[in-house]
Amino acid sequence: MNKAIISVMGRDRPGIIAAVCKILFENDCNIENVSQTILQSEFAGIFVVMMPQDISLHDLQACLKSQLSAIDQDVQIKQLQQQQTASKSAEVEPFVITTKGPDRKGLVAGITEIIARHGANITNLQAVFKGGDEPDNNIMIYEVDIPKIVDQQVFAAELRQRAEALMLDISIQHRNIFEAINRI
């Protein structure tokens, strides 16, 4: 069996996930992971699937494209390269960085530059910009894995300094604490 990663994007409407899943089922593919979201009025979905040996990437993509074109969805597919890596859980600590502030160009670039410089990996990013100067209307939530070798005090100080320069309020919490505080 081969693994593939499939991205589906287009105007949001009901039934997109059902259509994709039906096509994958009919082609004997097993969905292993799915991530989907709506950004403004656009659907974006990523599927990791296990494909049977008797179907090619090209054939699966052609099938998806032909059937999803009726609902105005674009499809890309590629082979998922399997990597043998050591467990990262012992090498990193998961954190959640939240920023709030007035919307303007460069906010995400400014914060992510600091995150990248310290070798932290962004595993999930949500940015909601509603415009205007009301701080609570513009929120960014970065889930990051920070290498244990990083001096967290220096990392936090640089993030706070950058956030202040960008007129953002910032919160940096270990993911376990963030989840405990925000549990419904």
% residues pLDDT > 90 (the chain): 74
Q: What pLDDT is stored for residue 86 in this prediction?
A: 47
Domain boundary among 79, 102, 137: 79
Is residue 85, in this structure, part of any structural domain at all? no
Q: What is the CATH number of the domain that holds 47?
A: 3.30.70.260
Q: Are residues 63 and 12 in the same domain?
A: yes
Q: What pLDDT is stored for residue 103 in this prediction?
A: 84
Domain boundary among 29, 45, 79: 79
Q: What are the φ and ψ backbone dihedral angles of 85, each rounded to 5 degrees?
A: -125, 155
Q: Which domain holds residue 37?
A: 2-79
Distance CA 166, CA 65 (A): 42
Is residue 84, in this structure, part of any structural domain at all? no
Q: What pLDDT is stored for residue 182 in this prediction?
A: 73
Q: What pLDDT is stored for residue 105 in this prediction?
A: 86
Q: What pLDDT is stored for residue 1 in this prediction?
A: 57
Domain boundary among 79, 100, 117: 79
% residues pLDDT > 70 (the chain): 91
Instruction: Look up residue 85 and give its two tokens.
Output: 């890596």
Residue 47 carries which side chain, given as an amino acid letter? F
Q: What pLDDT is stored for residue 148 in this prediction?
A: 93
Return the residue matching tokens 């001096």.
Answer: 151
- Name residues of the chain where pLDDT drops below 70: 1, 83-90, 131-136, 184
Is residue 158, in this structure, part of any structural domain at all? yes
CA angle 104–7–16, rounded 5-degree value: 95
